[in-house]
Amino acid sequence: MERQEALDIVKKQLNQKRYDHTIRVTDTAIALAKQYQENEKSVEMAAIFHDYAKYRDKEEMQRVIVESDLPKDLLDYHAELWHGPVGALLVQREVGITNEAILSAIHWHTTGKVHMSKIEKIVFLADYIEPGRSFPGIEEVREQAWINLDYACFMALQNTIAYLVSKQQLVYPDTVHAYNYFNKQLEELSE
């Protein structure tokens, strides 16, 4: 699928603000793909569709989770997490995307997970550092993104978990597992 066709499809699912975010995530993700020698076309598609399900009704997303093979524990956590896994399923169903690497990057873009693939890391990080974002500590992550992909993902996870904890919110287990995974991996490298 060509970029423009994909953008036209996703635009119908989003408002202007989220569409503009999607373009910035896509441009950032392609730049990261160049930096880390990942397939640019796959990264582009995953980034374009990463927030495909962002504005589906909570009830519809809940139904998709209940009726599919998606993990049911999602329902015990923040509904903000659902658009990743549900989005991966719906782009397969409604857009016909079958590439597992792309679908997985969409699925895990919010929470992260252990053993993330390069495309998963790139989409996860591009979503976090795109130029429209302003989180505390983001400048260091932006810098690190071009130096060490794993360390940048680790920092993004660290910031997100710290933010959720400060708000006394739940943290989805895979986000914690991802944090521990990168922590251990970086530790091993520095030994």
- d(CA 136, CA 145) in angstroms, rounded, equals 16
- In whole angstroms, how close is the CB of 113 to ligand DGI at the nearest point? 10
- Residues found in the chain: 191
Contact partner at residue 26 from Fe ion, ligand DGI, none, CB < 5 to 8 Å by partner kind? none
The verdict on 130 binding Fe ion (CB under 5 A) reads no
Q: Quote the CA–CA distance of 23 and 103 in Å, as a whole number.
A: 18
Under the binding rule (CB under 5 A), the answer on residue 127 touching Fe ion is yes
Nearer to ligand DGI, 80 or 189 (CB): 80
For residue 43, the minimal CB distance to Fe ion (Å) is 14
Give the nearest distance from C-beta 25 to ligand DGI in angstroms. 7
Distance set, CA 144 to CA 8, 18, 180, 183 (Å) = 32, 25, 19, 15
The residues of the shown chain that bind ligand DGI, judged by CB under 6 A, are 51, 54, 77-78, 80-81, 109-111, 127, 160, 164, 171-172, 175
Q: Whose Cβ is closer to ligand DGI: residue 6's or residue 74's?
A: 74
In terms of phi and psi (left: phi > 0; alpha: psi -120 to 50; beta: otherwise), the region of 37 is left
Chain residue at closest Cβ approach to ligand DGI: 172
Residue 132 or 137 with smaller CB distance to Fe ion: 132
Q: How many CB atoms lie within 10 A of CB 152?
A: 24
- How many chain residues touch Fe ion (CB under 5 A)? 2
> Who contacts 56 (Cβ-Cβ below 8 Å, separation ≥6)?
83, 86, 90
* Shorter beta-carbon distance to Fe ion: residue 38 or 127: 127
| Interface contacts to Fe ion, rule CB under 5 A | 51, 127
